[in-house]
Amino acid sequence: MRTTRVWCSGTVYRMSIGTGVLRQAGDELDRLGFSGRVVVVTDETVEALFGEELERSLRDAGFEPEVIVIPPGEERKSLETAGVIYSRLNELAVERSTPLLALGGGVIGDLTGFVAATYFRGLPLVHVPTTLLAQVDSSLGGKVAVNHGMLKNNVGGFHQPVAVLADISTLLRLPEREFRNGLAEVIKSAVIRDEGFLEFLESRMDDVLLRDESVLEKMVAVTAGIKAAVVQEDERDHGLRNILNFGHTIGHGIETASGFTLCHGEGVAIGMVAAAKMSVAMGLLEPGELTRLRSLLVRTGLPVTMPEGIEPSVVLAAMARDKKRAGGRLRFVLPTRLGEVIIRNDVPGNLVEEMVLESNVVA
């Protein structure tokens, strides 16, 4: 088992990563000084797979777990579901010191985090992420939110967990597509910050895809470490944290234009290739580095070109809406080599258009 320390908001918390972390959850909560009642929030799918193991660990350590189960799905990340959870917390007469445990993927993490941030102006939060995306991305950084109206993550805040417990063995149960979805963020993290890690991924991708637990443990630890480092340096999302958006500017437009038939990681994979192409076109990146990135993504099974049926004009329109929300500027994270990026907000509009159009082309 590995641990990473994360400093945020003047506090430090521990992220435990490894096989069997779920079994040790009770002891970890005990070590953190909690006792008595704890509330687990999870979804039906995750509850069926891991609920019992977590509850047993909590009971064995002397806790009284209460479990709130909601149906799975992004549409549950809403004020309405938060309301259902608030009502249950009222019924359970929880106290300000009662920890909420978010057992599940990013949806459960964001929703439970949102409830933890707001109920009694803040309950202790423990993330128990069970998707690759949640282990390497959404459980770190303290962003919590629900979706409202047609917008994603538009109602939320910052609430740091007191601990993150990432059990690698939960990843063995993830559907292929969910697993690859998380791998897009893993590859992104290597490209923005760590060439040595990128080389590790290149040499061990077959074992990653076979879900060798020791390789996954290292992969999750390094990726989480990269996110933690970036977030620590820029906790409130002012500057540096933007590098985490590599591949996301065009990627998010593609995801939206697909009507969310493409998952986030798939949009990001196509977006990373488009951003790297842009970098080559601007003379910032060697073409060989683009080829290298593209071949790693292809080996991972992620798309590198836009599938048929997605109109570039619709992608550009979605990007224009994002741009408006971002204060009128599209920011691009551009690699200068694999392992290093720069942020540019002066990419000419015609180059952006060209890159989106080219995302349709099988290279």
- Name the DSSP letter for residue 78: B
Of 108, 116, 101, give the one whose Cα is nearest residue 67: 101
C-alpha 278/C-alpha 30 separation (Å) is 51
Residue 36 or 73 having the CB closest to ligand NAD: 73
Residue type at 64? E
Residue 143 lies near ligand NAD (rule: CB under 6 A): yes
Residue 184 lies near ligand NAD (rule: CB under 6 A): no
Judged by CB under 6 A, the residue of 4, 98, 130, 300 near ligand NAD is: 130
User: 127 near 151, Cβ under 8 Å?
Assistant: no
Residue 69 lies near ligand NAD (rule: CB under 6 A): no
Judged by CB under 6 A, the residue of 28, 137, 194, 255 near ligand NAD is: 137
C-alpha 34/C-alpha 119 separation (Å) is 18
Residue 268 lies near ligand NAD (rule: CB under 6 A): no
Residue 136 lies near ligand NAD (rule: CB under 6 A): no
Helices (H), ranges, 194-328: 195-209, 213-233, 248-257, 264-281, 287-300, 312-325
Of 100, 126, 116, 103, give the one whose Cα is nearest residue 14: 126
The tokens describing 71, both together, are 């149906």
Residue 160 lies near ligand NAD (rule: CB under 6 A): no
CB of 24 to ligand NAD, least distance (A): 17
Site residues for ligand NAD, window 87-116 (CB under 6 A)? 104-108, 110
Q: Which residue is nearest to ligand NAD (CB)?
A: 106
Site residues for ligand NAD, window 278-297 (CB under 6 A)? none
The one segment of 14-22, 166-174, 315-323, 345-353 that binds ligand NAD by CB under 6 A: 166-174
Residue 72 lies near ligand NAD (rule: CB under 6 A): yes
Residue 262 lies near ligand NAD (rule: CB under 6 A): no
Residue 131 or 189 having the CB closest to ligand NAD: 131
CB of 142 to ligand NAD, least distance (A): 8
Beta sheet of 64-70, edge-to-edge order: 2-8, 11-18, 163-167, 125-129, 100-104, 37-43, 64-70
> Which residue matches tokens 């741009």?
323
Site residues for ligand NAD, window 13-52 (CB under 6 A)? 43, 45-46, 49
SS (H, E, C) 175-228: CHHHHHHHHHHHHHHHHHHCHHHHHHHHHHHHHHHCCCHHHHHHHHHHHHHHHH
Residue 243 lies near ligand NAD (rule: CB under 6 A): no
- Interface residues with ligand NAD (CB under 6 A) are 43, 45-46, 49, 72, 74, 77, 104-108, 110, 130-131, 133-134, 137-138, 141, 143, 152-153, 170, 173-174, 178, 181
